[in-house]
């Protein structure tokens, strides 16, 4: 297993936390080496205080005596150095092994250090407290065998080093799991963003082909002025569609300006056969909407309604605010709308653009949006979008 490395930009592993708590957690958990030293120093300082209050005072008989503090300080320093210099590298090596080898290395290393730690403590305590400490231990155990004199310290040492090892493995595996979870979240977001980009860039090539054919016709008829005007508008529309970030939103007013370029191009093709009616609430123009979200509905109306009517037809674009909801509609008066308009979404020939709109809305707004198709009376189709009324950019 490799060490967990978080983003170098300092954002840290906690993507979903907010405000000060996120910054504090990201700083605390953001670098493993810093986290280790914070926990190591803080933990052994806490152990020292606990040892002085509850252990050393019982040994010396006086709370906060010089002997009690020396006994606690030496025990804490021995534990700090043992875990830092010896046990940490042993457990770090164990973490890179298979489960069976990991347990073997961890347990055998911990047991060996328990004995070594007890021996070091005995030698240091004899230096601090003199022969009285060792004589007292000999009298208690009834033996002067040095190894036997270490037995009372083995269980406390095993508990201490075992607890340290448990925390070490626990934090490392938690950080590894946290890192993998955040990687999965980032991967899911990248995949969703890629899906959104694909949906936004899935423009119907028929529009481009028909426009270029119309320009070619104008050139052949030597109508250079209209051909140049149409080419300029096509260039501006394509530049907008490619330059605008599909992961960001734009204002409805800006969206309508881009659609004007598209409609002007189509008006050059259809002339007076194409009539546009707009019903816009002034308040709705400042709302944030996904870029080019209405273009597939307008293209669908032009291709399947206006294009099939010799006398031409009408496209009506509606935008209004209803409380916290923005309602957008694109309606036509074409004769070919089915009795069940929802069937259009299942038809590959004319449902791609409408399905595109529905999927983009679902990706961006989830259950807070709705997309519906309805038949107009007496003729025509209405595409209705309802999404949260927002005035700021949305990033998935």
For the stretch 268-281, pLDDT in tens is: 778 888 999 999 99
CA dihedral 243, 248, 254, 260 (to 10 degrees): 60
d(CA 184, CA 328): 35
Q: Which domain holds residue 31?
A: 19-195
d(CA 205, CA 241): 13
Tell me which of 195, 210, 239 is where a domain ends.
195
d(CA 6, CA 24): 15
Q: Are strands 325-332 and 381-388 parallel, antiparallel or unpaired?
A: antiparallel
Tell me which of 195, 225, 250 is where a domain ends.
195
Place of tokens 């606690």: 72
Domains of the chain: total? 2
d(CA 100, CA 184): 29
When pLDDT is averaged across residues 254-270 and rounded to a whole number, the result is 85
Q: Is residue 9 part of a domain?
A: no
Q: Find the CATH number of the domain harbouring 328.
A: 3.30.565.10
Residues 191 and 215 in one domain: no
Q: Is residue 218 part of a domain?
A: yes
For the stretch 285-333, pLDDT in tens is: 999 998 888 888 888 888 888 888 888 889 999 999 999 999 999 999 9
pLDDT grade for 350, boundaries at 50, 70 and 90? low
Residues 274 and 249 in one domain: yes
Place of tokens 């190591």: 40
Residues 289 and 260 in one domain: yes
Q: Is residue 394 part of a domain?
A: no
d(CA 300, CA 307): 10
Say what the pLDDT of residue 134 is.
78
Summary mean pLDDT of the chain: 80
When pLDDT is averaged across residues 55-81 and rounded to a whole number, the result is 73
Q: Is residue 396 part of a domain?
A: no
Tell me which of 195, 216, 234 is where a domain ends.
195
Residues 187 and 302 in one domain: no
Q: Is residue 395 part of a domain?
A: no
Residues 227 and 267 in one domain: yes
Residues 268 and 164 in one domain: no
Residues 95 and 156 in one domain: yes
Residues 311 and 247 in one domain: yes
pTM exceeding the 0.85 threshold for the entire prediction:
no
């Amino acid at each position: 297993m490799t060490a967990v490395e978080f983003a170098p930009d300092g954002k840290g592993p906690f993507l979903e936390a907010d405000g000060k708590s996120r910054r504090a957690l990201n700083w605390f958990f953001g670098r493993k080496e810093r986290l280790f030293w914070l926990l190591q120093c803080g933990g052994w300082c806490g152990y020292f205080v606990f040892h002085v209050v509850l252990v050393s005072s019982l040994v010396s008989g006086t709370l906060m005596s010089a002997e009690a503090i020396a006994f606690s300080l030496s025990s804490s320093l021995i534990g700090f150095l043992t875990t830092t210099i010896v046990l940490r590298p042993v457990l770090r090596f164990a973490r890179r092994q298979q489960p069976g080898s990991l347990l073997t290395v961890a347990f055998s290393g911990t047991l060996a250090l328990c004995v070594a730690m007890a021996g070091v403590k005995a030698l240091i305590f004899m230096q601090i407290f003199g022969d009285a400490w060792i004589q007292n231990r000999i009298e208690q155990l009834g033996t002067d065998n040095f190894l036997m004199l270490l037995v009372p310290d083995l269980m406390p040492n095993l508990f201490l080093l075992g607890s340290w090892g448990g925390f070490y493995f626990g934090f490392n595996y938690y950080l590894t799991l946290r890192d993998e979870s955040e990687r999965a979240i980032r991967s899911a977001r990248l995949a969703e963003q890629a899906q959104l980009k694909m949906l936004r860039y899935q423009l119907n090539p028929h529009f481009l082909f028909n426009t270029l054919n119309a320009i070619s016709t104008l050139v052949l008829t030597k109508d250079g002025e209209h051909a140049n005007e149409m080419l300029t508008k096509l260039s501006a529309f394509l530049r907008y569609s490619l330059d605008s970030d599909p992961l960001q939103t734009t204002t409805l007013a800006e969206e309508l300006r881009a659609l004007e370029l598209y409609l002007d191009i189509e008006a050059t093709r259809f002339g007076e056969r194409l009539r546009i009616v707009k019903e816009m609430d002034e308040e709705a123009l400042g709302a944030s909407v996904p870029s080019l979200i209405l273009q597939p509905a307008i293209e669908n109306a032009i291709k399947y309604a206006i294009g099939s009517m010799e006398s031409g037809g009408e496209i009506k674009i509606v935008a209004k605010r209803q409380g916290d909801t923005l309602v957008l509609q694109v309606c036509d008066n074409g004769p070919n709308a089915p009795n069940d308009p929802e069937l259009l979404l299942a038809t590959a020939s004319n449902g791609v653009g409408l399905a595109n709109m529905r999927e983009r809305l679902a990706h961006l707004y989830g259950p807070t949006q709705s997309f519906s198709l309805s038949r107009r009376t007496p003729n025509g189709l209405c595409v209705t979008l309802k999404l949260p009324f927002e005035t700021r950019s949305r990033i998935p």
